[in-house]
Structure 1
């Protein structure tokens, strides 16, 4: 290790003269020489330190990005689970109020009720008309009853409806109108309230919709449901068929169940 000498030069100071001291006396501090250790400069060490710092910053940045991605996935998952739980709670609440228990338990309870000849499910009332008419006339009949052609909002509702329809069908062509049409714009399927069909909640039969009606007499702009045979599995739910709106069919009306106080 190299060493350098450090030289401190003479320094003179004047101080007050004592009474017995000659005038002009000065105090002189002599040269002092002290060795100083000279530390070598390591250029490779500086480069290594710089690269190490960059590596740490890069690692921290990558870990931060990964953490943000994980947090984002967790947030989306939590929101999806919350929606699913909320829907389940709503369905359970509705089902718990389907019918009033028989007396005396029913006394002073508020329950959901349907009128005579209407069937209750999930907080709604359904009327299965066995009179055959066009889609437009069927809808008019539902309106006269304070309802509309059915809108299917869930898999559970489809399960209920196809089960009831299958019991009422005489043959495989004895189907029921539902409130779904693309009469305003071909291929754009809308429910009666103006909402678009959710493709995740569609139950088209294989090859449907095909925009074909008997003898190709008209465009198939309205939807009927029904499947007499039962094979088991999810295919049993795929029971929607598009056909001419003028074709006479049975129909399903739907309206919200009303609160009623039992006595």
Structure 2
């Protein structure tokens, strides 16, 4: 029987010349999403930080695994409240190859709700998987990622 290098229940992809494994993990609030992925070992919430090709792949993966959802967690937040979003590996989102913010985002607040976590959307308001800051208490789909360099 052939052996696979993919961790159990993860899907393998080579995008932008890098090796990635993705796994859909249900839904939860942002902190649950982070801990769910970390509980899988050397895994983190999916980061949309490698340009258009990776962005399109991540969106397609999320749409195929969560077809009825219009927003998905990506691994970025402003947990330290400095008005700068960071990826779960602590690099600044602003330093990414390309960003995909919806016009007017990030704004960190929607009326009285603080929005310190980042979601990728797919709706008429958020075409093509644009990002928006949202309340970390929202329950959204979770996608975990393992990547090699």
The TM-score bracket by the shorter chain reads: 0.7 to 0.9
Of Structure 1 and Structure 2, which has the larger fraction of its residues in strand?
2
User: How many matched pairs?
Assistant: 139
Aligned ranges for residues 1-263 of structure 1 at < 5 Å? 113-122=5-14, 123-129=19-25, 131-146=26-41, 147-155=43-51, 156-167=53-64, 168-172=66-70, 175-197=71-93, 198=95, 200-213=97-110, 216-228=111-123, 236-237=128-129, 239-256=130-147
- Asked whether the equivalents of residues 171 and 228 of structure 1 are also in contact (C-alpha less than 8 Å), the reply is no
Asked if 2 retains the 8 angstrom alpha-carbon contact of 1:189 and 1:196, the reply is yes
- For residues 175-203 of structure 1, the C-alpha deviation after alignment (integer angstroms, 9 at most, x for no partner) is 21111011213321111111111254111
CA distance in 2, matches of 1:169, 1:225: 14
CA contact (8 A) 1:166 1:228 kept: no
Contact 2:29 2:140 in 1 (8 A): yes
Root mean square deviation of aligned Cα: 2.5
Q: TM-score, normalised by structure 2?
A: 0.79
Asked if the contact 2:50–2:96 (Cα under 8 Å) also holds between the matched residues in 1, the reply is no
List gaps (5 residues or longer) in structure 1: 1-102, 258-263
Residue aligning to 1:33: none
Q: Which has the larger radius of gyration?
A: 1
Which ranges in structure 2 are unaligned for 5 or more consecutive residues? none
